[in-house]
Amino acid sequence: MSALVVAVCASAHHGVDKTRQTAIELLPGLGVSGDVHAGETVQHRSRVAKDPSQPNLRQVHLVHAELLDELLARGFEVAPGRMGENVTTRGVDLLGLATGTRLHLGAHAIVEVTGLRNPCGQLNGIQEGLLAATRFEDAEGRVVRKAGVMGVVRHGGSVQPGDEIRIEPPEGPPRPLEPV
C-alpha cells in the first residue's frame, strides 16, 4: 500500500478541532497558511506563556489514519482534524520514524519530523478517556504517546487529500522521536 494524505485541516483559532479543507498551503519555516499554530516561534498557548521566543518545532501536526481507525473501534468519535492535526496520513508508521525524517507531501511540500505530540487533557474535552487511549504506560513503565508527530516546513507547497507521501530518512544514525 502506498503512503497517502487522507485529509488536511486548519483552524485560525485556538482549540483542539481543526476544520477539513480541500487543500492547505505549507509555508517554509512557518507552517500551515492561516492556521493558528503557524509561526517561526511557538504558538501553542502553554509554550508561549513559558517562553514566546522558543523556535516553533510544532508547525505541522500529523496523525496516522490507522490511529483513528483504532480509536473508532474502541468507541471514540474521532475524524480527521478532531485531535488538532493538520495532515492525516495512511500507510506511514509516523510513530516509528526517526527525528529528522523528511516527509515529501505531494509535488513540492516537505515537512521535517521534529518529535512526538505529547497528548494533553484537551483530548478528554473531545471524549472522556481519549487522553488515556493516546498516552499511557506500557508493561515496562515507559510512557507511550500515540497522538501523532510534529514537524516543521522545510519546503512549501500545496497539500491535498490523495497526495502521495515519500519518506526520506535522515542522514546518520537514527534518533528516536521524543516529545516536542
Report the alpha-carbon distance of residue 38 to residue 78 in Å, rounded: 24
Indicate if the pLDDT at residue 70 is higher than 70.
Answer: yes
Q: Of the candidates 170, 32, 175, 178, which has an alpha carbon nearest to the alpha carbon of residue 101?
A: 170
Reported as a single tens digit per residue, the pLDDT across 115-125 is 999 999 999 99
Query: Mean pLDDT over residues 133-156, rounded?
Result: 97
CATH code where residue 136 lies = 2.40.33.20
Query: Mean pLDDT over residues 3-11, rounded?
Result: 98
Q: Of the candidates 5, 1, 56, 6, which has an alpha carbon nearest to the alpha carbon of residue 28?
A: 56
Indicate if the pLDDT at residue 92 is higher than 70.
Answer: yes
Quick one: pLDDT band at residue 1, thresholds 50, 70, 90? low
Total domains, the chain = 1
Q: What is the pLDDT of residue 47?
A: 87
Phi then psi for residue 149, to 5 deg, are -125, 165
Residue 135: give the domain boundaries: 4-168
Looking at the domain assignment, is residue 174 inside a domain? Answer: no
Q: What is the pLDDT of residue 98?
A: 98
Query: Mean pLDDT over residues 81-106, rounded?
Result: 98
Looking at the domain assignment, is residue 22 inside a domain? Answer: yes
Cα distances from 107 to residues 88, 156, 173, in angstroms, run 17, 10, 28
Looking at the domain assignment, is residue 175 inside a domain? Answer: no
Q: What is the pLDDT of residue 45?
A: 84
Looking at the domain assignment, is residue 48 inside a domain? Answer: yes
Q: What is the pLDDT of residue 77?
A: 92
Cα distances from 140 to residues 19, 103, 119, 129, 136, in angstroms, run 37, 31, 20, 22, 11
Cα distances from 155 to residues 22, 28, 30, 55, 113, in angstroms, run 20, 5, 10, 17, 13
Looking at the domain assignment, is residue 102 inside a domain? Answer: yes
Place of cell 487533557: 121
Looking at the domain assignment, is residue 173 inside a domain? Answer: no
Reported as a single tens digit per residue, the pLDDT across 19-43 is 999 999 999 999 999 999 999 999 9
Q: What is the pLDDT of residue 46?
A: 86
Looking at the domain assignment, is residue 49 inside a domain? Answer: yes
